[in-house]
Chains A and B, each alone.
Chain A
């Protein structure tokens, strides 16, 4: 298959390197490697040494000849421990294999057999999981008879319910995804669905869990053999050696300790390697949803930090007359020389609504996160100035307290009360197991030192302020009981629990349909107007920004390319701004012509061209554009634009021109259509 040469193949090796690159990962791998080598080679090399009977030296303690002594037949226990590694590890792996195989059969059966039988199988699994695995193992060991084979089956079957449950949970979550639905619609058989779509997508998690289960199986075998239910003489595994050694524990402890150490080391090797795999592959054992909520976690961490900080606000410093937020030369960098935000400067005045627009990857959301200090490692944020109400919010705790810098706690507390945040998906921004009202109240209780009752009243008041009907009732509900629009209102309510001077809203309506979008926009706008509150509104839809904001910052490839009042959008001077405007279909778009699109793909922040980043997609681009990056230049009216061809753009046709034919126009001629049809 072409898979080995593919991106996925590359990604896989990269991930494997990540697993082995950590100290824990590499040492676990080395340990596991040693155990594996021993299991393969020890019986070949030392079998005769281990089985050599020497009646002249029976039951001896450790000596130079017999490192950990001898057993009742005068056999060397050290060699026996080494040789026993094959049987011990082999049995553990075989048992895990049985467990995984049964688990896969049982766990995937509900997908194959249809709904009713599937539900029955799921119930059976759930009941089986309720029994402790060791109890099951003992039960099966008695049924299957004493001996290595019986123990193997016993431990294998005993671990099956846990795997079945895991497979069932994982496959059920995968089976709910759209690509499975798409394959079903395409007529793909259930069996093929399972082998081609479900299993490959749950494989990693399963392997991680199987590795760790192998360690457990090893311990279980040692336990059964030690109890005399497992491996029977004359063959021996670690558990049996332990059993033998224990008889003389007071006189010759080494004979018991050696197999014990072997069990511990091998068990650790499996478990540590499993942990390292889990960490490196990004799956947490038993849980595949971890890592999905990266951004949310950032937000929650911040709100938790907000909640944790309960000191009174430090006294205010002099606030620049009119600006709520001042940002200058903000940069965000990721390791590997990727600069998604490249030195942007802007200010938001009191009560002003500023929109930030751009395509995905333009750096608009990162800007918002950086300003609210929600970016965590490995992102690096630097700026000559980021001040909220005159306070330096980028100050590192260690950078000293001079020049308005404050403690990290104080800073987060300050941000928590003076800046509110609204994210795209309110479902992931709320804690799903806490009542909406309680989540709002928490903010007030911590920040304003209100009593529980007062905080609750404030929460209800805020819910009413965001026009949620019957707020007392809604406050007692859980986030999932609210509709998407309701939740977004509640989120806005949370953002205005304090008396924020600035609300940062990152794509607050993108997940909502048009009717609800309008209600939420209206709400944001009215709260902003009533409270004399500044708004930083981030969106990819320039029409929506135009409806809500006073001023627009257009971002492309991490830079502001144009800054202008909303009212002047129709005569924007940057080709990109014009392209964005033309790309949104409206109720007036001519139906008989292709929609305007922006040709090509957004610039890749990891691989930016020299000169203007938009040049490759721009109908006006000249050699100068491809060589020199145009600076952001302000005109007399305060409008800013970064383009070498402003005059040509302004002289060119209005924004509504579109169509594939425009592509053929000479881009240098400042021809009729700055925005051209798509080259796919």
Chain B
């Protein structure tokens, strides 16, 4: 149970003429025990924010606070992250059990067999069949790998989990199962979660609050129902319109408006 707070976070890559501001003075709060969905197109800075939170990139300015204090970078890691591509986020030469055990805090569980037991418990928790701890990623399907990645994130007994596009590399059929699991776990363990996705239908399903990011800034933020049903910003409306709806056809004659806008962005 912890609150994650971004205060005026700016991340700049490069210097001088080649500088690129990926996040520009972002203020965002992930309330304790709630899920904040962060949406936006590729390049809007969503992943940069996630990487800054877990310390993979250093913010150029601003603060990232956990319960009002700077996120500790040593010892137990209260922030854990699940990555987009389960084919890249697991070491191909470590068994699922070894990957999970590695993330278990040294102080929390001592001893090899105890850690293995804990890893087995976690695979069970994420709904993997018994024996998965001894399997290598190459022997697992995409959905199973993503469950292992979730178990690894949980192994650190985190207060906040950051999920970065965790279903966009999965088949639709597997996506549903992983989303169900994420929702269940979040409720059971009352985790705070920053759930990043470009797919509004997915975010709508898991998030309590929705923040919309565009060109490094949060342009709209509020309870999920409000943002998705009564969006205030044109960009949010545009994102909503882009979600494929069953039984509808793509409108060929539609305005070229968003095309032009994309041109301006790139």
Where the two chains meet, the residues of A that have a C-beta atom closer than 8 Å to any C-beta of B are 2-3, 5-8, 11, 177-179, 181-188, 196-197, 200-201, 359-360, 467-470, 482-486, 512-519, 521-522, 525-526, 529, 540-544, 546-548, 569-570, 579-581, 583-589, 591, 594-598, 601-602, 677-678, 680
Q: Chain A: which residue is nearest B86 at the CB level?
A: A178
**A513: which of B56, B173, B198 is its contact (CB, 8 Å)?**
B198
- Assess whether B176 is in contact with A514, with CB atoms less than 8 Å apart: no
The residue from A197, A200, A469, A543 contacting B246, defined by CB atoms under 8 A apart: A543
User: Which residues on B sit within 8 Å (CB–CB) of A516?
Assistant: 41-42, 262
Could you give, for residues 224-266 of chain B, a 1 whenever the CB lies within 8 Å of some chain A CB and a 0 otherwise?
A: 0000100000000011111111111111101010111011011
B242 near A515: Cβ-Cβ < 8 Å: yes
Per-residue CB contact flags for chain B residues 82-98 toward chain A (1 = under 8 Å, else 0) read 01110011111111000
A179-B91, A185-B77, A680-B128 known; A517+B242 contact, CB < 8 A: yes
Known: A515-B239, A522-B252. A541 touches B262 (CB 8 A): no
Answer whether residue B70 sits at the interface, using C-beta atoms and an 8 A cutoff: no
When the two chains form the complex, which single residue of B56, B129, B183, B258 contacts A519, counting CB atoms closer than 8 Å? Answer: B258
B77 pairs with A186, CB closer than 8 A = yes
With A and B bound together, what is the CA distance between A543 and B199 in angstroms? 13
* Minimum CB distance partner of B105 in chain A: A187
CA distance A31 to B244 in the complex (A): 62
**CB < 8 Å neighbour of B102 from A196, A483, A594, A601:** A196
A515 touches B252 (CB 8 A): no
Is B201's CB under 8 angstroms from A522's CB? no
Q: Roughly how many angstroms separate A484 CA and B262 CA in the complex, as a whole number?
A: 11
14 sample A-B contacts, Cβ–Cβ < 8 Å, listed by A number: A6-B135, A8-B93, A178-B85, A179-B90, A187-B103, A359-B171, A469-B263, A483-B42, A483-B265, A484-B42, A541-B244, A543-B246, A547-B250, A586-B201
Does B19 touch A at the CB level, under 8 Å? no
- Name the residue in B56, B90, B249 with the highest tally of chain A Cβ atoms < 10 Å from its Cβ: B249
Given A201-B93, A583-B176, A597-B177, residue A187 in contact with residue B76 (CB < 8 A): yes
Given that A525-B250, A591-B204, A595-B179 are known contacts, is A181 also in contact with B83, CB under 8 Å in the complex? yes
Central interface residue in A197, A482, A569, A570, by most chain B CB within 10 Å: A197
Interface contact B258-A586, CB-CB below 8 Å: no
Q: Once the chains bind, are B243 and A529 in contact (CB under 8 Å)?
A: no
The answer to whether the Cβ of B16 comes within 8 Å of any Cβ in the partner chain is no
B42 and A512: CB pair below 8 A? Answer: yes
Please, which residue of chain A has its CB at the minimum distance from the CB of B252? A526
Contact, CB under 8 Å: A591 / B180: no
Chain A residues lying within 8 Å of B88, measured Cβ to Cβ, are: 177-179
Q: Considering the chains assembled together, what is the distance between the CA atoms of A544 and B172 in angstroms?
A: 11
Give every chain B residue within 8 A of A586 (Cβ-Cβ): 201, 243, 245-246
Q: Are the C-beta atoms of B173 and A359 separated by less than 8 Å?
A: yes
User: What A residues does B246 contact at CB under 8 A?
Assistant: 543, 546, 569, 581, 584, 586
A583 to B251, CA, bound (A): 24
Cβ contacts under 8 Å, B128 to chain A = 680
User: What chain A residues lie within 8 Å of B242 (beta carbons)?
Assistant: 514-515, 517-518
- Take A187-B77, A201-B92 as given contacts and tell me if A543 and B176 are in contact as well, using a CB distance cutoff of 8 Å: no
- Among A2, A3, A200, A519, which residue has its beta carbon within 8 angstroms of that of B259? A519
* A428 shortest CB reach to chain B, Å: 15
Interface residues on B, range: 35 or more
Residues of chain A within 8 A of B245, CB atoms compared: 543, 586-588
- Asked if B67 lies at the interface with its beta carbon under 8 angstroms from chain A, I say no
Q: A483 with B134: in contact, given A514-B200, A517-B242, A587-B200 (CB under 8 Å)?
A: no
Q: Are B205 and A589 in contact (CB under 8 A)?
A: yes
Q: Are B102 and A188 in contact (CB under 8 A)?
A: yes
Q: How far is the CA of A183 from the CA of B136 in the complex (A)?
A: 16
Q: Nearest 8 pairs between A and B by C-beta? A: A680-B127, A513-B198, A186-B103, A595-B176, A178-B89, A469-B263, A483-B266, A597-B176
State whether the Cβ of B215 lies closer than 8 Å to any Cβ in chain A. no
Query: Which of chain B's residues have a CB closer than 8 A to the CB of A570?
Result: 247
Point out the residue from B95, B105, B177, B239 that lies within 8 Å of A6, measured CB to CB: B95
B55 within 8 A of A: yes
Which of chain A's residues have a CB closer than 8 A to the CB of B142?
360
For A581, give the chain B residue with the smallest CB separation. B246
Given contacts A543-B246, A594-B180, contact A583 B172 (CB under 8 A): yes
- How many Å from the CB of A314 to the closest CB on chain B? 35
Known A483-B43, A547-B250, A587-B240; judge A185-B260 contact (CB<8 A). no
Residues in A with CB closer than 8 Å to B243 are 514, 586-587
Is B211 positioned at the interface, with any CB of A under 8 Å from its CB?
A: no
> Is the CB of B63 closer than 8 A to any CB of chain A?
no
Min distance, Cβ B234 to any Cβ of chain A, angstroms: 13
B49 CB to closest chain A CB (Å) equals 15
Q: Which residue of B lies closest to A177 (CB)?
A: B88
> How long is the Cα–Cα vector from A588 to B246 in the complex, in angstroms?
10
Q: Which residues of A contact B5 (CB under 8 A)?
A: none
Asked whether B54 is an interface residue with its Cβ less than 8 Å from the other chain, the reply is: yes
A50 and B252 CA atoms in complex are apart in Å by: 88
Whether A597 contacts B180 by the Cβ 8 Å rule is yes
User: In the bound complex, how far is the Cα of B240 from the Cα of A514, in angstroms?
Assistant: 9
Chain B contacts for A468, CB-based, 8 A: 263
Q: Do B252 and A543 touch across chains, with their CB atoms under 8 A apart?
A: no
Note all chain A residues with C-beta closer than 8 A to B149.
Answer: 182
Give bound CA distance, A544 to B243, whole Å: 10
| Alpha-carbon gap, A201 to B251, bound state (A) | 48
